[in-house]
Amino acid sequence: MKSLIRIFAIMRKEFLQMSRDRLTFGMIVGIPLIQLLMFGYAINTDVRNLSAAYVDEAETHLSRQFVADMTASQVIIMKQRVASVFELEQLLDAGSISIGIVIPDDFDRRVIERDRQAAQLLVDGTDPIILGVARQLSALPIKFDSQASPPKQADLMEVRNYYNPERRSAVNIVPGLVGVILTMTMVLFTAVAIVREKERGNLELLINTPIKTPELMLGKIFPYILIGLIQLLIILSLGWYFFQVPIRGSLIQVLGASLVFIAANLSLGLLLSTVATTQFQAMQMTFFFFLPSILISGFMFPFDGMPVIAQNIAELLPLTHFNRLIRGIVLRGADIMTMLDEMLALAIFAFITLTLAIVRFSKRLD
Amino acid sequence: MNQQQIAISASGLTRRFGSLVAVDNVDLEIPKGTIYGFLGPNGSGKSTTIRMLCGLLTPSAGSATVLGINTKKESEALKQRIGYMTQRFSLYEDLSVKENLQFVSEIYAVARRQRKLRVQELLQDFKLVDRSKQRAGTLSGGQKQRLALAAATLHKPEILFLDEPTSAVDPQNRRDFWETLFELAEQGATILVSTHYMDEAARCHSLAILDEGVKVADGTPRQLGEGIASHVVEIEADDPNRARLSLMEQKEISSITQLGIKLRVLIPKTVIDPLQLVNSSLQSTGVTTKAEQVFPDLEDVFVAVTQKRREGTAA
């Protein structure tokens, strides 16, 4: 009973402080809003409008038709025509184009005879995504109207796109963003929570009262769980409104998965808070954790493509498990019961970090 | 003294921070219901000693018993029975006066019905009623101090630890503050207060003088005055500066303090007639003076005991 009074006291105090700290309050709503719009529109693996230039040594009807077709695909924007391959390479070096097209003077003959490649694409391969786009371009058919079209060959395999038939990146990005934004804000909020009291001198008063460490920790966590759920609702509803990201699974299950994930992040934040001595240190530690979470959790790059070591490390990050959960439930309409191991992983993470935080926190100054 | 009547006792209390010895082998015995002072300059180990007595710091050596509880092993049992006012304002500056007191009342799990009454009572007692909705961060030094004391006494602790409570407060507030302390002591609380003001130390029932972590003297202000090994001579001079210069040549005199046109001179008790010593050395200067022997005040005690220790360590 006394414990409940004390936990409630800490919670109430946190809410009061939060409501008076405009910056924090702004971050609660602002971060999801801005990041969702920014990433939702910016992160686009469906590449269009790459800058290009070309050399046309053939100067025939066919070659001009070919350049027009390329431009019509919208994948590239033809910036200019140059006189030689050398100039094309210079443009590539300077970074002013990503793709250069070389049409040799015997282009027509090559197209008709089909014994060699008819034209050449010079690609800035430093970005693998651009390279992938170039591969698509090379598959473009060449219409040679004066010629009977060669017999069509059927592809070996047919691709059927499940869950995202329009191939929109936002469908993948938005649910992933839920996890990224929650990781950032939740860890950060609690990471500074105890350090701030340390810095402002409040902690010396607090540790001289009968409050017990678990009471303090729980009182610090509960208010932020609510904040996390608010952020979740903001992201999902805006994602649905702006990017037409569907929620195919049950909303209750989304909430359930998010709750465990939020608890995991908050516990981690508290653990960082017991290690750091200043708010600045707490922030640095948060970002040390945040960056790998973004990069190897499967949010940015497909998990299966990573080396085994990276995969093993990623399994330790809550975001990895949450990404599978939220994408499963939101996009594929999966049942949470089929992914209980992911839930368990998150729960274990939360339990271990919270226990460590409680053990590490000392009611003494030495 | 009966064990029942002792609030705080410590023996050989020591605390090291790396190579620095912040508190060095301090013994204490503080009876219940008294106001006990720690007098010493900054860095003399007052705060560290208080923190050890509260159970916030673990002693490097020695032990302390507060209300019969060993601070090293069972400090948690102590928390409900002691109040602690930190040197730095440690309530929440972004909460209002009332919210802060409410928060503290909940943390001490005061019974639901009494919480409101107690907060209201404290607001009245500490003259904070018309400030109750103001954020603590915007209070003046004196108001902050009253709020901090109100919070520290909210759960009616048996012992109050006050770490330099008046350092940011004007003289009028200091007077009021001390009146409150006497009221609390009358109600049975034991109060341990650290200070570097001599006049405050003089108001304590008894006190300990700390210097570089060492307790150099303790007792009632009167006992301390009697205990020092120096005579105190007060000299009124029409040219105190010249009188001072000539006295400085006198090897027997251990300390000269100028207070306006008066000089206060400490002379070791080994000198049988201090007045004669002073008068003879002043005669040659031609300054008109009037010397008289007085009872040592705490400042004299402080100067005498710290000087003695310095000489002791230097030798």
**Each residue of A156-198: pLDDT tens digit?**
787 787 877 777 777 878 888 889 999 989 999 899 888 999 9
Average pLDDT over residues B170-178: 90
Lowest pLDDT segment from B146-150, B176-180, B309-313: B309-313
- The C-alpha of B12 sits at a distance from chain A's nearest C-alpha, in angstroms, of 19
Distance CA B37, CA B302 (A): 13
- Collapsing DSSP to helix, strand or coil, A247 comes out as coil
| For helices A279-296 and A318-332, angle between their N-to-C axes, nearest 10 degrees | 50
Nearest Cβ partner for A210 among B57, B103, B108: B108
**Each residue of B55-89: pLDDT tens digit?**
999 999 999 999 999 998 888 899 999 999 999 99
User: Per the CB < 8 Å rule, is A208 touching B89?
Assistant: no
End-to-end, the C-alpha distance of chain A in Å comes to 30
Lowest pLDDT segment from A275-289, B188-202, B250-264: B250-264
Pair (B59, B154) in one structural domain: yes
User: Per the CB < 8 Å rule, is A365 touching B106?
Assistant: no
Strands B230-237, B262-268: pairing is antiparallel
Expressed as residue numbers, the domain containing B274 is 229-295
Interface membership of B92 toward A (CB under 8 Å): yes
Average pLDDT over residues B229-248: 87
Percent of chain A at pLDDT above 90? 43
SS3 letters for B262-276?
EEEEEEECCCCCHHH
Average pLDDT, chain B: 90
pLDDT category of residue A151 using cuts at 50, 70 and 90: low
Task: Report CA-CA distances (Å) from A296 to A40, A272, A307, B135, B314.
Answer: 19, 21, 10, 45, 65
Nearest Cβ partner for B58 among A20, A207, A366: A366
Pair (B132, B242) in one structural domain: no
User: Per the CB < 8 Å rule, is B109 touching A21?
Assistant: no
Please tell me which residue of chain B has the smallest CA distance to A198.
B90
Average pLDDT, chain A: 87
The structure's pTM equals 0.83
- The C-alpha of A191 sits at a distance from chain B's nearest C-alpha, in angstroms, of 19
A50-138 is a CATH 3.40.1160.10 domain = no
**Each residue of A201-214: pLDDT tens digit?**
999 999 999 999 99
Nearest Cβ partner for A205 among B57, B80, B86: B86
Interface membership of B288 toward A (CB under 8 Å): no
DSSP-assigned beta bridge partners for residue B106: none
Burial (CB count within 10 angstroms: exposed 0-12, middle 13-18, buried 19+), residue A215: buried
For the cut 50, the answer to whether the pLDDT of residue A305 exceeds it is: yes
Please tell me which residue of chain A has the smallest CA distance to B103.
A9
> Phi, psi at residue B237, to the nearest 5°?
-135, 145
pLDDT category of residue B185 using cuts at 50, 70 and 90: very high
**Each residue of A45-95: pLDDT tens digit?**
667 788 899 999 988 988 888 888 888 878 888 888 999 999 999 998 888
**SS percent in chain B: helix, strand, coil, step 5:** 40, 30, 30
Residue B315 maps to a domain: no
> Phi, psi at residue A145, to the nearest 5°?
-60, -35
Residue type, B30: I
- In total, how many domains does chain B have? 2
Please tell me which residue of chain B has the smallest CA distance to A2.
B109
User: Per the CB < 8 Å rule, is B56 touching A208?
Assistant: yes
A/B interface, count of CB pairs below 8 Å: 77
* Higher-confidence position of A93 and A343: A343
Q: What was the pLDDT predicted at B131?
A: 94
SS3 letters for B126-187?
CCCHHHCCCEHHHCCHHHHHHHHHHHHHCCCCCEEEEECCCCCCCHHHHHHHHHHHHHHHHC
Lowest pLDDT segment from B1-5, B177-181, B214-218: B1-5
Query: Is residue B166 a contact partner of residue B195, using CB atoms and an 8 Å limit?
Result: yes
Given B222, B241, B264, which residue is the final one in a domain? Answer: B222
* Higher-confidence position of A32 and A147: A32
Pair (B97, B120) in one structural domain: yes
Distance CA A95, CA A181 (A): 33
Smallest CA-to-CA distance from A118 within A143, A154, A152 is with: A143
Percent of chain A at pLDDT above 70? 95
Contacts of A1 in chain B (CB under 8 A): 109
Which pair of structure tokens corresponds to residue B180?
């409150």
User: Each residue of B134-162: b (16+ CB within 10 Å) or e?
Assistant: ebbeebeebbbbbbbbbbbbbbebbbbbb
Complete DSSP assignment for A271-282: HHHHH-SSHHHH
Interface membership of B27 toward A (CB under 8 Å): no
Q: What was the pLDDT predicted at B194?
A: 95
ipTM given for this complex: 0.85
Smallest CA-to-CA distance from B224 within B292, B311, B299 is with: B299
CA B105 from centroid of its chain's CA atoms: 28
Distance CA A257, CA A343 (A): 7
Interface membership of B16 toward A (CB under 8 Å): no
Domain CATH number, residue B270: 3.30.70.100
- The C-alpha of B14 sits at a distance from chain A's nearest C-alpha, in angstroms, of 14
Nearest Cβ partner for A17 among B79, B92, B104: B92
Pair (B147, B11) in one structural domain: yes
Residue B247 maps to a domain: yes
Domain boundaries, chain A: 23-43+168-360, 50-138
Q: What was the pLDDT predicted at A135?
A: 79
Distance CA B13, CA B60 (A): 8
For the cut 90, the answer to whether the pLDDT of residue A343 exceeds it is: yes
- The C-alpha of A23 sits at a distance from chain B's nearest C-alpha, in angstroms, of 14
Among A204, A206, A207, pick the best mutation site for testing chain B contact (most B Cβ within 10 A).
Answer: A204
Smallest CA-to-CA distance from B148 within A209, A205, A167 is with: A205
Pair (B184, B49) in one structural domain: yes
